[in-house]
Homo-oligomer: A and B are copies of this chain.
């Protein structure tokens, strides 16, 4: 179910506060419906945030769908109740709720316990024990300070419910994960994959969790975006291309180290970690190896990044192995993705609950010849002998032949019928062993699931890119965003409001856009303010058209680099080519 792990404290240091302020001021994100007082857990991405988020999604699509040859689908966010009966969400997707009898505020009981006692994983405790801890420690309501001892702790289902059509006969839920939209369509998706394993299906879209107490900006929200890959494999025959990622260096925090008194993170490679059995499943290892450089490419600081293995108590019972990608933000580790080997759990459940088949026909390389024992009983003997029970005898004989053909080796065979043993002459059973050729079998594929949270990644990328320095004696804030994800790659400014300068700037904007670069034009305020504005939104380069541009014989402009604030003069007719080369990593600004 890839539940998102929360950091256990609510401490935010000054960087997060500054980031959230910048995010609102510059249009990255802000709490929604502020005009109506806002609602916890809902955020709007402003123009910069929507662009950054879109770029991150595109980068994910390129790597996990296109480059891996997987299919992307787009399913509805509302799904009918039977889907969640099968998936287990209706029964078990709960949090512990405690309500304050004084002020009526609702809280997560496990959070109150974790924040105020030495218990670290209260979520995994039984409810009566949590109630006892609340009483024993005399824990109080975080909102009003009233004692919570004696208040019932209840389960609260985290799915948002609604009704489909008039009346309430067709309950529906907003999906708590995009994954179910893939699993439930497996019978069709396998056709698009031409019934060949392995194949992968991705989806980028909204998911919803009705958190009791959403908190920490866009890290724990009630509506968020997931990018999930469900990779369907034949557990016997399919193997990942481990070689391709064997040399990827990773920081791992295995369960054994988390449990050890002086345990610590391990620096290793994917190849070594598999060899040494630290990562148990090769498919999980493969996707960790794909994910690590991808996270780096979108701007996650690798000194504040690790893969942490789930402890046995955290893991869903069906998950053989599960690792989270975690980033450090203000001293807390937050989950950005989960990588789980889920076995056949999901498809088996839908096979069990629905009318469709969630298997795939696996053709053998060569048809197999198998021996099959059958019976063809003599009814003219069984009929008179057993009367109305004759058919039961036939069923028993068939089952016995399939189970234990040696039972037919003597003259008689013994069967049990409602507690009584009967002897039947073997010659009356029509027992025979025949050879049969079969082309293959129906198998239930296993699922490997890399599940990414987009909002938390966006938060991490911004947080890890946040910088403060001093330029010309003045404090400066800037975002050191990777060009691949920055909302704007280049800002273009005419130095002053002057028709000649503006005309050249307009042409440059058109040229750069034609070259596929994302461009912002800005002619308002003095040039220093415009640089500052682009620094704060993380634009890697700015181009200024000044009087030298229009007066000199060789038309040049000033190109300024965000991080160093270094400036160089570049010929206008080389600008698009030069900036494209820098964007593609083929050229460095300092080489100009």
Tell me the A residues contacting B by CB distance below 8 Å.
Answer: 24-27, 30, 32-37, 39-47, 49-51, 53-54, 66, 69, 71-80, 82-83, 97, 99, 106, 156, 160-167, 170, 172, 174, 181, 184-185, 187-189, 191-192, 194, 201, 206, 208, 210-212, 222-223, 350, 353-356, 358, 513, 521, 524
Report B-chain residues with C-beta under 8 Å of the C-beta of A41: 164
- CB-based nearest B residue for A78: B223
User: Which of A49, A99, A184 is most buried by chain B, counting CB atoms within 10 A of its CB?
Assistant: A184
- CB-based nearest B residue for A42: B76
- Bound: A201/B222 CA distance, A: 24
Min distance, Cβ A82 to any Cβ of chain B, angstroms:
4
In contact, B33 and A50 (Cβ under 8 angstroms): no
- Bound: A78/B524 CA distance, A: 36
In contact, A34 and B185 (Cβ under 8 angstroms): yes
Report B-chain residues with C-beta under 8 Å of the C-beta of A39: 80, 164, 170, 172
Report B-chain residues with C-beta under 8 Å of the C-beta of A73: 44-47, 49-50
26 sampled A-B residue pairs with Cβ under 8 A = A25-B191, A27-B188, A32-B76, A33-B83, A34-B187, A34-B188, A35-B184, A35-B187, A35-B354, A36-B82, A36-B353, A36-B354, A36-B355, A44-B73, A44-B185, A45-B73, A45-B74, A45-B75, A46-B189, A47-B72, A69-B521, A78-B174, A97-B166, A106-B167, A162-B174, A166-B212
Min distance, Cβ A349 to any Cβ of chain B, angstroms:
11
User: Which of A74, A167, A206, A208 is most buried by chain B, counting CB atoms within 10 A of its CB?
Assistant: A74
- CB-based nearest B residue for A62: B513
- CB-based nearest B residue for A353: B36
Report B-chain residues with C-beta under 8 Å of the C-beta of A51: 72
Report B-chain residues with C-beta under 8 Å of the C-beta of A24: 188
Report B-chain residues with C-beta under 8 Å of the C-beta of A66: 513
Min distance, Cβ A64 to any Cβ of chain B, angstroms:
14
- CB-based nearest B residue for A25: B191
Beyond A32-B185, A36-B354, A46-B188, list 8 extra A-B contacts (CB 8 Å).
A27-B71, A34-B188, A46-B71, A54-B74, A76-B223, A160-B162, A160-B163, A165-B212
In contact, A32 and B79 (Cβ under 8 angstroms): yes
- CB-based nearest B residue for A73: B50
In contact, B165 and A162 (Cβ under 8 angstroms): no
In contact, A79 and B47 (Cβ under 8 angstroms): no
- CB-based nearest B residue for A525: B194
- Bound: A34/B185 CA distance, A: 7
Min distance, Cβ A344 to any Cβ of chain B, angstroms:
16
- Bound: A355/B35 CA distance, A: 6
In contact, A77 and B206 (Cβ under 8 angstroms): yes
Report B-chain residues with C-beta under 8 Å of the C-beta of A188: 24, 27, 30, 34, 46
Report B-chain residues with C-beta under 8 Å of the C-beta of A521: 69
- CB-based nearest B residue for A29: B74
In contact, A50 and B74 (Cβ under 8 angstroms): yes
In contact, A79 and B35 (Cβ under 8 angstroms): no
Using known A-B contacts A42-B78, A44-B74, A50-B73, determine if residue A165 contacts B83 with beta carbons closer than 8 Å.
no
Report B-chain residues with C-beta under 8 Å of the C-beta of A185: 30, 32-35, 44
Q: Top 4 A-B pairs ranked by shortest CB distance?
A: A35-B356, A47-B71, A35-B354, A45-B74
Min distance, Cβ A98 to any Cβ of chain B, angstroms:
10
In contact, B164 and A161 (Cβ under 8 angstroms): no
User: Which of A54, A156, A188 is most buried by chain B, counting CB atoms within 10 A of its CB?
Assistant: A188
- Bound: A161/B162 CA distance, A: 6
Report B-chain residues with C-beta under 8 Å of the C-beta of A43: 76
- Bound: A350/B33 CA distance, A: 11
In contact, A80 and B33 (Cβ under 8 angstroms): yes
- Bound: A156/B191 CA distance, A: 40
In contact, A181 and B72 (Cβ under 8 angstroms): no
Using known A-B contacts A33-B184, A34-B188, A75-B32, determine if residue A106 contacts B47 with beta carbons closer than 8 Å.
no
